Structure 1
Amino acid sequence: MMGFTNLIRTHFDFLNHSGSEAICAKCNEVISQRIVTALDKSWHPEHFACRECHTPITESTFNQKDGEPVCTQCYASKYLDVCFSCGEPIKGKTIKALGRAWHEEHFICGGSCQKPLSGASFYEKDGNAYCKDDYDFLFAAKCIHCYKPITDKAIIALNGKWHKDCFRCKMCDKPITSSTFAVEDNKPVCTECVA
Structure 2
Amino acid sequence: MFLLLTSITYIIVTALNKKWHPEHFTCNTCRKPIDGAKFHQHDGGVYCVPCYTQYHSPRCHGCGDPITDRVIQALGVSWHAHHFVCGGCKKELGGGGFMEQAGRPYCSSCYADKFAARCAGCGAPIVDKAIIALDAKWHRDCFTCTKCRKPVTDSTFSVLDNKPLCGKCA
Same fold, judged at TM 0.5 (above): yes
The correspondence of residues 77-156 of structure 1 with structure 2, limited to 5 A, is 77-110=54-87, 112-156=88-132
| Counterparts of 2:9 and 2:21, CA distance in 1 | 9
Match of 2:154 in 1: 178
Aligned with 1:41 (options 10, 16, 20): 20
Q: Can you give the 5+ residue segments of structure 1 that lack an aligned partner in the other structure?
A: 1-12, 18-34
Greater relative contact order: 1 or 2 (C-alpha under 8 angstroms, separation 6 or more)?
1
Report the alpha carbon displacement of residue 192 of structure 1 after superposing the two structures with TM: 2.4
Decide whether the 8 Å contact of 2:142 with 2:151 is kept in 1. Answer: yes
Deviations 1:10-50 (A, max 9, x none): xxx99434xxxxxxxxxxxxxxxxx7857432245xx7653
SS of 1:149 mapped into structure 2: coil
1:154 aligned partner, one-letter code: A
| Number of residues of Structure 1 aligned to a counterpart in Structure 2 | 161
| Counterparts of 2:60 and 2:40, CA distance in 1 | 22
Which range moves more in the overlay, 142-151 or 77-86?
142-151
Structure 2 length normalisation: TM-score?
A: 0.75
Percent identical pairs in the alignment equals: 43
Structure 1 length normalisation: TM-score?
A: 0.67
Report the alpha carbon displacement of residue 174 of structure 1 after superposing the two structures with TM: 1.8
Rate the CA distance shift 1:48–1:191 in 2: closer, same or farther, 3 A. Answer: closer
Match of 1:163 in 2: 139
The correspondence of residues 54-73 of structure 1 with structure 2, limited to 5 A, is 54=31, 56=32, 62-65=38-41, 70-73=47-50
Rate the CA distance shift 1:82–1:177 in 2: closer, same or farther, 3 A. Answer: same
Decide whether the 8 Å contact of 1:36 with 1:48 is kept in 2. Answer: no
| Counterparts of 2:168 and 2:40, CA distance in 1 | 80
Report the alpha carbon displacement of residue 101 of structure 1 after superposing the two structures with TM: 0.9
Question: How much is the aligned-residue C-alpha RMSD, in angstroms?
Answer: 2.9
